[in-house]
Structure 1
């Protein structure tokens, strides 16, 4: 595994040292965007976070991510809003306002331009908490036993994270690199805690633009290093369920948690990323015995908001 940051696009023609510096800045910038997406992320603010002039920042950002800063933020907010349309019963106006649109009409126009259907059509076609992977041609055979869901409180968790861009099942090399980095700094291999944070819905976001973070829980005295960024996973009340089996079948547990348990729980999943906590290592464990906790942060159901 090389130290090159996996992004949809690359900057060409820069010396390695300059490239690494830019990648480090953009890794920190992406962590900042994730934590502050609800705020006014002006180009001036983001350029300052990236420690660049505004003019230079725009060119570097487009070169690395293949879209302008405004296009990037608009897409992230629309795709998060689409997840809200699918998963919750909140009114479309409330979702529109939270996404930064001043009216239902403006939100609908932007939504249709991006997804080629309106929010109402998405909600009518895919009712709340329904996942289109449950369509008959892709319907998995789900166990009939009740899902064993625990409600747990977890405080905000400091982590060192490495961003992965692309299909979620390809995040393995990022975890390997992060684990090697942590072990080099004296982490106990028996007690190290690895988490995955998965930000986007693969049914909404293009595969190459999916965002996920390989995370190791921060022991208290580590700092970021290049593309490995010090950050914090939000705390709160979580629905937690243990998945047993290969990572390729994790989606079945996601479907049962989000599509079956959640609608009857009195809760909704928050807009934050779903988390996975890995209880054993795939290099030493047969695929059928892999244990993965799926964590979904909860908020009270808001059907009338």
Structure 2
């Protein structure tokens, strides 16, 4: 239950500071993880970014104040962190569909996003296949991009990035440069993310080849990163067709944090996250999500 208490403590901090500057590093400290990993976890669990959640909560409270007080729009804009009444009005109308002035009128329909809290969902009807493994340090090399998570851009940009790598020959060049025969069935090109800190609503994502021995010759066109020795929680999807890869791996991501971590005895460690893809032949495959962990 410690995990739930920490996550809900972080949500309480957000709620208590909606009219102040929210310190994302403090949120993560309350949750006992990095700002980077907390925001990523939050997005996977809720399907909305942390910044978007904060924006919705502020505009929800602003609508309540408009209907229940005589506060000026300019004062409300300042109170909820907007640089001008115009930027506040645009944001308000984008969410509620009406201007702040109209929101004062009786019978106007507005939107309210309630505060979030987290609870354990006891299901048990679908198993999760996982194992804990220790791995020595290794390298990954490939092409990277800083992915923006606002507005679900990551769900669009990452698939497009893969499509572009096939179209422009990057995937083939990575495949040719990748070490062969390291793990049975492992595809030559995989993905690694969150291997360094970027901005609040972004994370680094690399389509790359994994070199578990660390001695492969890396072509100059590719970026190389080192992954330290870590303990990994490795989650395996069910077998699926190649075109189902994105769906199946996203299903696993959405279950790891609310279903596995609370009762696992492990916590998320500092380090990158990986997605590995395996081929079983005849259009059958499976995928793995690797997350660095430490015992509580």
Q: Indicate the TM-score class for this superposition, using the shorter chain for normalisation.
A: 0.3 to 0.5
Larger radius of gyration: 2
